[in-house]
Amino acid sequence: MVTLEDVAKHAGVSLATASRVLNGSTRQVGAPLRAKVEMAAEQLGYRANVAAQTLARGAGNVIGLVVHDLVDPYFAAIADGAMRVAESRGLMVMVGTTHRDPEREIAYVSTLNAQRVRAVLLTGSRLDDVQVTRRLRQELDRYRESGGQVACVGQDLLGADTVAPGNAEGAAELARALAGLGHRRFAVLAGPAGLVTARDRTTGFRGALAALGLPEPRIVHGTFDRDGGYAAAAGLAEAGKEITCVFAVNDVMAMGALAAFRDRGVRVPQDVSVAGFDDIATLRDLVPSLSTVRLPLADMGARAMELALDPAERVRIERVAGEVVIRESTRRLE
Positions touching its own copies (CB under 8 A) are: 1-2, 45, 47-52, 54-55, 60, 62, 69-71, 73, 76-77, 79-80, 83, 87, 92-97, 110-116, 142, 145-147, 226, 255-256, 258-259, 262, 281-283, 285-287
Residue 286 · residue 255 · CB < 8 Å:
yes
CB 29, min distance to DNA, A: 4
Cα separations in angstroms, 239 against 165, 191, 192, 218, 268: 33, 18, 20, 11, 17
What is the sign, positive or negative, of the torsion defined by CA atoms of 233, 237, 240, 243? positive
The site string for DNA over 10-39 (x = CB under 7 A, - otherwise) reads ---xxxxx-xx-xx-x-xxxx-xxx-----
CB 227, min distance to its own copies, A: 11
CB 43, min distance to its own copies, A: 12
Nearer to DNA, 26 or 270 (CB): 26
Nearer to its own copies, 81 or 204 (CB): 81
Calpha distance 207→197 (Å, rounded): 15
**Residues near 206 by beta carbon (within 8 Å), at least 6 away in sequence:** 175, 188, 216, 217, 219
CB 17, min distance to DNA, A: 4
The answer to whether 55 contacts DNA (rule: CB under 7 A) is yes
Amino acid 20 reads R
**Residues near 178 by beta carbon (within 8 Å), at least 6 away in sequence:** 186, 245, 247, 273, 275, 291, 330
**Phi, psi (rounded to 5 degrees) for 296:** -80, 75
> Of its own copies, DNA, none, which one does residue 286 interact with (CB within 5 to 8 Å by kind)?
its own copies
**Phi, psi (rounded to 5 degrees) for 179:** -60, -35
CB 46, min distance to DNA, A: 7
The answer to whether 43 contacts DNA (rule: CB under 7 A) is no
Size of the site for DNA (CB under 7 A): 31
